[in-house]
A and B are shown apart, each in its own frame.
Chain A
Amino acid sequence: MLTLECPYCGVKAEETELTPGYEAHLKRFGPGSSDDDFESYMFARKNPKGVHFERWRHAYGCGKWFLAARCTVTLEVFGTYPAQLGEPPADIIAKITAKRPGWEGYK
């Protein structure tokens, strides 16, 4: 039962208020893309033991989708941010790098 702060309404939302959307920052591959690209976009998910970027929707709150960076082992949340950002905000990256030296990055 995670708690994640919704970056839109500021509510510290409990998992029962949220719906999961799995891995964040996927690049969509549509018609004309190669089988490999489409397969990777559609089916290959990171599921790391460690820092993970995820999509969540504040479904039973403001209804907005947002992104969260958290550690799947310690459950530490490094931050949440709007779904429109193409990459994680610099301060979240800095926080993760400081806490997880040698972290390979979000891509």
Chain B
Amino acid sequence: MTTRLASGGRLIDRSTAHEFTFNGKRMGGFAGDTLAAALLANDQMLVGRSFKYHRPRGVVAAGPEEPNALVNLGAGARLEPNQRATTTELFEGLEAGSQNHWPSLDFDIGILNNYAAKLLPAGFYYKTFIHPRAFWKHVFEPIVRQSAGLGKAPKDRDADRYEQAYAFADVLVVGGGIAGLQAALVAGQSGARVMLLEQTAHWGGRAPVDGVTVDGQSADEWVKNAVQALERMENVTLRLRCCGAGVYDHGYVLADERVADHTPGDGRPKHRLWRIRAGRIITATGAIERPLSFAGNDIPGVMLAAAVRDYVVNFAISPGDRTVVVTNNDDAYRTAIALHQAGLVVPVIVDARAQANGALPMQARALGIRVETGKAIAKVKGGKRVTGVALCAQAGEGAVLEEVACEAVAMSGGWSPVVHLWSHCGGKLTWDAANAHFRPDATRPPTTDDGSAMVIAAGAANGALLAGDCLADGHAAGLAAVGQAGAAAPEAIAADESPMAPVWIMPQGAAPALKAKMWLDYQNDVKVSDVQLAAREGYESVEHTKRYTTLGMATDQGKLSNINGLAVLAGALNTDIPQVGTTTFRPPYTPVTLGALAGEARGEIFQPLRKTPMHGWHEAQGAYFEPVGLWRRPYCFARAGESHAQAVEREVTNTRNALGLLDASTLGKIVVKGPDAGKFLDMLYTGVMSNLAVGKCRYGLMCSESGFLMDDGVVARIDANTFLVHTTTGGADRIHAHMEDWLQCEWWDWQVYTANVTEQYAQVAVVGPNARKLLEKLGGMDVSKDALPFMTWADGTLGGFRARVYRISFSGELSYEVAIPASEGLAFWQTCVAAGAEFGVMPYGTEALHVLRAEKGFIMIGDETDGTVIPQDLNLGWAISKKKADYLGKRGQERAFLASPDRWTLVGLETLDGSVIPDGAYAVTEGTNANGQRNTEGRVTSTYYSPTLKRGIAMGLVRHGASRMGETVEFPKVGGGSVKAKIVDQVFYDKDGARQNV
């Protein structure tokens, strides 16, 4: 069993005990423990089940590469799935639960998949679920959804807050081991702005665990001094618990700081996402130990050798009384020695190499530890935990030589540099045959905006695995980052190591039955036999093999499985590992929670809100708002006891019969000014604007260069050189940018200036038969039919307010749009409400606006248009100049398919039964298309109940629409049935415009 040792543990504080629960069971640990260490201290070896076969899974690693020990952490509003126990710091009251099992961790029914493993080979899902189609929906998907998946998504709203911070650094160092510390020291001493990040809660990395000495000091002592020196430098920023997650273009780095993961509820943000712009990035991210592939290497109790060392030295954890060490390198002997020094037994060190005579093997032998060279593990014995190993010759096929009883196996297949950050933005790798790993190729680094190297890899992350080389490399990286040559590096001393031997399968001639029990990817259940099968089936590209077998697609993203999988694939393809290459390393290095990415942008402040000057009044009236871009506009002003539909009906009817007020402030308003303003607008609009008389208004259409209708609105000529362009609410910023684009880049010699003055004016539409009466009551300017006819505007005052009054209508009623300085908008609105009482004034919202315009057959950008519609489709040919040589979109509209007589064109649709056609419905016609779907001949673009006509009305685009007046078309409804509608003129109400021309 795994237990806590009586003494030792450099990271734990035995004077501070923490109680926590795992699957509801109360357990105890110490401050400084990781959850994984605390679980092991309580003999909780079994921590989860694998993804596909639901095999028992135990802790394998001691860092972020851990594939197995994933837990649901916390509860309720603080539940987080897929948290790695190896990087979770223990705190009082921590609640954790295991994942991916049913009904319980100890008895998991999904283990049946394990016995059916032969039926679930690589690519099983792809092979099985293709045919017949109906089976997927009704049989396969429900089963897969039930049994697959890791943690459960939390149901409650996250109780924590997250924040984001920006930082700038000349040199950003990622990784606080000895290489990173030395790089930061050197760079900091040059005066450069330095930022140093360490993902764990402790500085120093592996060196203190591995017994390294630096300049005569213990690693712990040297690290302490280095950190103190850095803290004294004002130009250096240090962050612990801060993981460099991703490197992006031009020195942009994302880092995730776990501020309060270990102190939940203390009021601090849970995470802080750093958005860093760095001149140079030093990746001192260390290396990750590789597993060895032998049968049963996934049984709980089989761990990475360095992880076993970490647990013994850092947390005083005994992995079991007897630990067999299996290795292809010298480094793992440190684990045997550490176990021995802790008073534990290492029955045998199994070394696949023919000989092992380096300093560490000799030291182990001197301690009386048995060393067997040229040997391998034929098989691990045990089910839910290791009970022993069977040994064989590495050169053979697995004939068992002897069996050794043990509780744990510490394995080491060598080390792979953490090259992720180097690779994120294009850094290339080179194959290091001596260490059998990929390491950064310094001649092909990721580059920044001046073409120079953006990232410098340092230490073990650069392939400098030995402590002496590692520290010197960090020193050199620090100097290179600040462009200096400098003093000699401190000297780190650790035991010399003999060369490792690449061993990918153990024993090398293992029979198929053994290979089917050799795990490569523990979480996703990918075995040596799966990769070999994929190769046999023709998956020669590593990217294809990855997706076919799911190798490296687990939450650890192949941190453990990558190189071993590549090696097995290379072996199966009879080629070299560098030939096979690696899969792509993509950010983030470890998962970053969505809360951190969102930061403060959630709930009320998810995005900025734009409010008109009258917004508060609408709120006070209990208006129901709808989002229109970043604006919130009143949809309707429902009264007590009134449904929205009833409110809209009342607002429409009142506007038609008495007087309505619309807050039209969101309407885009752009001033276009200059000697060439008219010429410019003639290019922008399909119609002519340059000949518009001062004091007049004209409706215009804007098209994209490809010919499609993009915006519409009324243009008013203010003076000889000045136009005021109205755009749609959503279009103001876009159209202003569109104008600037053409003015700056194409017609830059034209003398035109634009200004978006949308928010400078409040705008109130005064609409209805009593509109003139209200303005006359306010008084101050002549708004009579003769003084201010339809499609004109005038400046003046109304009730003492400075006003610009446009006589335009989007409802078909007598209508004035009154622009007021924004600061006076609310006062003017309130004045209109008060003064209009005797004329039956009521505010109306956007839905009534839509109904009013639809009754009149007016188009709405975004309803009648969707980026594929040209003005000609909407019977708006009258607004297109035939005389102009050019306008934006003219050439585009001349394209054959846009000029085709077969295009769907705008018509009115009147349902035979008076009902409302569902929004977005398609009209169907005879026959079916290639997918067996009914052919279509049109679609609904706007559909409403008309309170004025007391029936459903709609507009739609229908093939040959204009020539089919009186015909009936059919619109199927979702869920069955259909609506029949007659094709009619799109103007449903007051076709002659008598109501607005008064």
A: residues with CB less than 8 A from B are: 1-4, 14-15, 19, 21, 28-33, 35, 38, 42, 55, 57, 59, 63-65, 70, 73-77, 83-84, 99
Contacts and interface: CB of A to CB of B under 8 A. Distances in A.
B158 to A, nearest CB: 25
A42 B248 contact: no
Contacts of B248: 1
B736 to A, nearest CB: 9
10 contacts: A1-B248, A1-B249, A3-B251, A3-B449, A33-B891, A42-B892, A65-B740, A75-B250, A75-B448, A76-B450
A88 B740 CA distance: 21
Contact of A99 (B251, B451, B745): B451
Nearest to B454: A75
Interface string B711-753: 0000000000000000000000000010011001110100000
Given A33-B891, A42-B706, A75-B249, 5 more contacts: A3-B277, A31-B894, A55-B745, A65-B744, A83-B744
Contacts of B741: 21, 57, 65
Contacts of B251: 3
B885 interface: yes
Contacts of A70: 449
A2 B890 contact: no
In the A-B complex, the 9 residue pairs with the smallest Cβ-Cβ separation, listed nearest first, are A76-B451, A1-B252, A65-B744, A74-B447, A77-B449, A84-B748, A83-B745, A3-B250, A30-B886
A64 B743 CA distance: 10
Contacts of A73: 426
B261 interface: no
A35 B895 CA distance: 8
Interface in B882-901: 885-886, 890-892, 894-895
B269 to A, nearest CB: 22
Nearest to B445: A74
B705 interface: yes
B705 A42 contact: yes
Contact of B447 (A2, A28, A76): A76
Given A30-B886, A74-B447, A38 B249 contact: no
Given A31-B885, A31-B890, A83-B745, A63 B740 contact: yes
Contacts of A42: 705-706, 892
A83 B451 contact: no
Contacts of B447: 74-76
A50 to B, nearest CB: 13
A43 B186 CA distance: 52
Nearest to A15: B249
Nearest to B450: A76
Max count, chain A CB within 10 A of own CB: residue among B447, B745, B892: B745
Interface residues of B, number: 29
A105 to B, nearest CB: 19
Given A29-B891, A83-B744, A75 B737 contact: no
B745 A30 contact: no
Contacts of B744: 64-65, 83-84
A80 to B, nearest CB: 10
Interface string B122-146: 0000000000000000000000000
A71 B843 CA distance: 56
Nearest to B893: A31
Nearest to A12: B449
A30 B744 CA distance: 18
Nearest to A67: B745
B894 A2 contact: no
A1 B891 contact: no
A75 B449 contact: yes
A24 to B, nearest CB: 9
B449 A28 contact: no
Given A19-B737, A31-B885, A38-B891, A2 B249 contact: yes
Nearest to B251: A3
A63 B408 CA distance: 65
A53 B885 CA distance: 31
B286 to A, nearest CB: 26
Contacts of A19: 737
A74 B426 contact: yes
A99 B745 CA distance: 28
Contacts of A3: 249-251, 277, 449
A6 B977 CA distance: 59
A3 B746 CA distance: 25
A65 B745 contact: yes
Nearest to B749: A84
Contacts of A38: 891-892, 895
A57 B743 CA distance: 13
A91 B740 CA distance: 27
A39 B705 CA distance: 12
A84 B742 CA distance: 11
A63 B753 CA distance: 13
Contacts of B895: 35, 38
B446 to A, nearest CB: 8
Contacts of B737: 19, 57, 59
B277 A14 contact: yes
A19 B746 CA distance: 17
Interface in B408-448: 425-426, 447-448
Contacts of B894: 31
A42 B704 CA distance: 11
Interface in B662-721: 705-706
A2 B447 CA distance: 12
B743 to A, nearest CB: 9
A63 B740 CA distance: 8
A83 B250 contact: no
A60 B891 CA distance: 32
Contacts of B746: 28
Nearest to A55: B745
Interface in B779-827: none
